[in-house]
Structure 1
Amino acid sequence: MRGFLASSIGVTCAAALALPLTLPSPGARAATPAAESPVGRSAESVPGSTQSLPLTPLGSDRSAGGEATDQGLLQREVRPFSLVGVIWDDPDDELHGSVQVRTRASGTGNWSGWQPVETHNHEHAADPDDPERASGKVRGSTAPLWVGDSDGVEIRVRGEAARHRGEHRGGTQPSAEHALPAGLRLELVDPGAEPPPQGPSPEGPRSPVLTAETAASSAVNADLAPLGASVIPALSKKETESDLIAARGGPEDAAGKARPYVGPRPRIITRKGWGANEKLRERQFGYSKTVKAAFVHHSASGNNYRCSQAGSVLRSIYRYHVKSSGWRDFGYNFAVDKCGNIYEGRAGGVAKPVLGAHTLGFNSNSMGIAVLGSFGSSSPPAAAVNAVARLTAWKLGLYGANPRGKTYLKSAGGNLYKKGSNVRLNVISGHRDGFATECPGIRLYKKLGSARSASARYQGR
């Protein structure tokens, strides 16, 4: 089995490689040297950086009878960055209020208008009893906001007025403001440079130069693409079915053996392809038993990116999840950009049941897909919705799940379902189906019916 070739280069990930559904593929056999790194170039050549700035009081706001103080930073020049977010000490605290930021574009001196930052991000996290949540490293955080190349920033955080039932007129009256969480900090993330271009060197094909961390992350996909590949190539439906039948130990079209309902494997850009710095994440991979459902999210990072910048957006969110929010890795199993490109998310193998941190209470036996953007008032591009359909048709098909069907997941605790509840959900659900949240945005949520139908068609149902 080609996955075990990793052991020859000293990568100790045999336990991960031994998990089921790491499927051999004609695509892997036919891969060209274009998937390899130029000699002497390392996958960790795009490290990026984070500036963490404590917020300070901006002045009291007693208009609602409160004593709370707005916090923020006045205009200041900073090192270059492209993504912003706000964190605080206690992950169980919620930021009841508003966060607005404005930034200065690098090279022009032009300041943007005030942009809102989505404050409700605690529902994107590891389950309450998961070691990732209990690590002591996790912090409260807003959603990240992509602002593009910037070198100046101004931010204001205002507490929301709490309300109580008034004694006169039977109305609801404002009371003191909610106290803002302790330890508010502004995080400014620089994604680093783009990965070096992929292709053969002038002297001909060379072996990829990989760190041990990058090799381990790549080795868990070794049956799908060569070690160090930037892309897992697409397969036809017939090739995908043949691989799955072979993995199940049965001859194709054998008497009494039904052909599997599985969609053609889509093209997937690997972590190496989008330039993930594998030294940021925890070294070990985490897994569930199976994949029974897919939760669709939006990243809430805004729509002001070009598809050519998607790798930078991903590197920024990854760094924000790990270095700022204290997670073990990128939270989602997959990401999809506005052009319909599909990206490997959390490390551990795209065909495996990798345990993510995307839907608080329902991370086990599910996968999370983040569509890059914000879709509360903007409609998702058709290419992105179709990518969700193609991805789920393949990945859910590997585990025998019907995209149009229902399934049961046991809640690990959340604000909709108490811990231990056996909850009936759509096999393709929106984040809001498992947690009281606006995610994935009403415009994307309304497209999930179309995604389910298309996914089932790709499976041949």
Structure 2
Amino acid sequence: MSGSTQSLPLVPLSGDRSLGPDAPEQGLTRRSVRTFSLVGVVWDDPDTELHGRVQVRTRAAGVDRWSGWQDIETHNHEHAADPDTAEGDSGRVRGSTAPLWVGDSDGVEVRVQAQVDERATAAGESPLPRGMHLELVDPGAEPAPRGAPAGDGSAGAESAETYATFASNADLAPFGASEIPALSRAETEREAPALREGAPLVKPYIGERPRIVTRRGWGANESLRERGFVYTKKVKAAFVHHTASGNNYRCSQAPSVIRSIYRYHVVSSGWRDIGYNFLVDKCGNIYEGRAGGVAKPVMGAHTRGFNSDSMGIAVLGSFGNTKPAAAAVTAIARLTAWKLGLSGADPRGKTYLKSGGGNLYRKGKNVRLNVISGHRDGFATECPGRLLYGKLGSARTAAARYQGR
């Protein structure tokens, strides 16, 4: 099973149903639904922010046990394509909360309460965004393990999108492999000049290539995303994120969490593909994100205003009040040591990125940033959570050490 999405329109929860889309509290009363594992709320206008509180409670599948109310992070528009890009201006993008992983569930109740704003009310503005829907995502069954080597004849049965995804990593792993294997330092250095287009044939500062689970490995349905790939010029910086999807998952469930986020980004939010270039779980496993090749400068939709010449790494979880696992921080360091090394970037250094427009920097402004930055450095947001943000200094130091600096 490849997964599915249930999209349920929210309705006024107050006694006066005549308020319709202008009701200050909307949601859905407790009900039974088809099985799902991830929830989020979307609305029509991606430029409209949801000022208020979103809470959900769910019933575990197959049992009559309901969770307590859980908060869903409302500010998610900062994880998006840049303004004035084909993806950002596609007309398909919707406003959205962060997704929340709840595990296998078959019952749901949701409430959205507007934050009181007397000025907005006086101006006749709706207290909540128009067209709000609850999105219930089923990631589908775990895919069967596959690692088809090149030339075995199996590629002919694959879709064009799947074939293109395999081909984008053909220099790194067998065609259709579930993972890109780790390399030793010597192997990585021998490979690096071939990957760094235009780079001089000198010994690079580059960390060992880590093991990376491919899109095939986590079970991406390639027919969901847009065709083709979009690239930027090079990767000068890495932005670290958290998915804000909660920490209640096992590492064996990480592929399901990623499939759910992928479907939420594409089907519910209208993005061309999953927004992040890479994802990391609490056990330190690294996953390929947006399609186009892990060694290539794929344009993501992770840091609104700074998706050009950068990459986005998202740690699965929420780290405002929970410490990230040491294995996840180490994975960030190892991944950036390799990936930034391909373009000659020093993880401890600074670089300039030109803003594409956001809430901190005007469009066109050259901004000096850490080569390894947190999302909040490029956009006013809590992401990647204060406790993960506090670990970025040690990640920079470790990444530089892995590069041999």
TM-score range normalised by the length of the shorter chain:
over 0.9
Q: CA deviation at 1:250?
A: 11
- Evaluate the alpha carbon distance shift between residue 200 and residue 180 of structure 1 in structure 2; reply closer, same or farther with a 3 A threshold: closer
Following the alignment from structure 1 to structure 2, what is the Cα–Cα distance between the partners of residues 88 and 347?
26
Provide the residue aligned with 1:452 in structure 2. Answer: 396
Gaps of 5+ in 2: 17-21
Provide TM-score, normalisation by structure 1: 0.82
| Residue pair 2:196, 2:342 contacting (<8 A) in 1 also | no
The residue that corresponds to 1:422 in the other structure is: 366
- Offset of 1:161 from its aligned partner? 1.2
Matching of residue 120 in structure 1 with residue 67 in structure 2: no
1:233–1:266 Cα contact (<8 Å) kept: yes
Match of 2:19? none
Question: Do structure 1's residue 139 and structure 2's residue 94 form an aligned pair?
Answer: yes
Measure, in 2, the Cα distance between the counterparts of 1:200 and 1:58.
52
Match of 1:267 in 2: 211
Q: Deviations over 1:6-54 (max 9, x none)?
A: xxxxxxxxxxxxxxxxxxxxxxxxxxxxxxxxxxxxxxxx410000000
With over 3 angstroms needed to count, the CA separation of the structure-2 counterparts of 1:247 and 1:299, relative to structure 1, is closer
CA distance in 2, matches of 1:175, 1:315: 41
Change (3 A) 1:250 1:100: closer
Structure 1 counterpart of 2:375, from 420, 431, 435: 431
Matched, 1:78 2:10: no
2:307 to 363, 373, 376: 363
The answer on 1:90 being equivalent to 2:45 is: yes
The aligned counterpart of 1:8 is none
- 2:107: which partner in 1? 152
Aligned-partner Cα distance in 2 for 1:51–1:197:
27
Quick check: 1:281–1:322 contact (8 Å CA) kept in 2? Answer: yes
CA distance in 1, matches of 2:319, 2:123: 32
Preserved CA contact (<8 Å) 2:239 2:310? yes
- SS across alignment from 2:37: strand
Q: 1:95, CA displacement in angstroms?
A: 0.3
- Choose which of 333, 338, 354 in structure 2 pairs with 1:394: 338
| Whole-angstrom distance in 2 between the partners of 1:239 and 1:131 | 38
* Distance in 2 between residues matched to 1:158 and 1:326, nearest whole Å: 24
- Is the 2:148–2:154 Cα contact (8 Å) retained in structure 1? no
Q: 2:323 aligns with which of 364, 370, 379?
A: 379
Q: Deviations over 1:175-217 (max 9, x none)?
A: 999610000000000000001133689xxx8746532221111
State the distance in 1 between where 2:305 and 2:357 align. 5
CA distance in 2, matches of 1:247, 1:368: 20
Q: Which runs of structure 2 are paired with 1:218-297 in the superposition (5 Å)?
A: 218-246=166-194, 258-297=202-241
How big is the shift at 1:109?
A: 1.4
Residue 258 (structure 1) shift: 4.1
Q: Which residue of 2 is the match for residue 104 of structure 1?
A: 59
Following the alignment from structure 1 to structure 2, what is the Cα–Cα distance between the partners of residues 268 and 55? 39
In structure 2, distance between residues paired with 1:246 and 1:336: 26
Whole-Å separation in 2 of the counterparts to 1:200 and 1:239: 23
**What do the CA deviations read for 1:118-150 (whole angstroms, capped 9, x no partner)?**
000000000001110100000000000000000
Pick from 122, 127, 134 the counterpart of residue 179 of structure 1: 127
Aligned residues: 395
RMSD: 2.2
- Secondary structure (helix, strand or coil) at the match of 1:135 reads coil
Report the CA distance between 1:83 and its aligned residue: 0.2
Contact 1:161 1:176 in 2 (8 A): no
1:51 paired with 2:6, answer yes
Pairing partner for 1:193 from 141, 144, 162: 141
Check whether the contact 2:145–2:217 (CA below 8 A) recurs between aligned residues: no
Conserved in 2, the CA contact under 8 Å of 1:411 and 1:423? yes
Q: CA deviation at 1:439?
A: 0.2
Question: Distance in 2 between the 1:349 and 1:228 partners?
Answer: 13
Partner of 1:333: 277
Q: Is the 8 A contact 2:38 2:136 kept in 1?
A: yes
- 1:260-310 per-residue CA deviation (whole Å, 9 max, x = no partner) reads 000000000000000000000001100000000000000000000000000
| Change over 3 Å in CA distance of 1:69–1:162 after alignment to 2 | closer
* Distance in 2, Cα, partners of 1:358 & 1:433: 13
1:315 aligns with 2:259: yes
Superposition TM-score, scaled by structure 2 size: 0.94
Counterparts of 2:176 and 2:148, CA distance in 1: 13
Question: Is the 2:147–2:176 contact (alpha carbons within 8 Å) kept by the matching residues of 1?
Answer: no
Structure 1 CA distance for aligned equivalents of residues 285 and 351 of structure 2: 28
Consecutive unaligned residues of structure 1, counting only runs of 5 or more, are 1-45, 62-66, 165-173
Deviates more, 1:444-453 or 1:174-183: 174-183
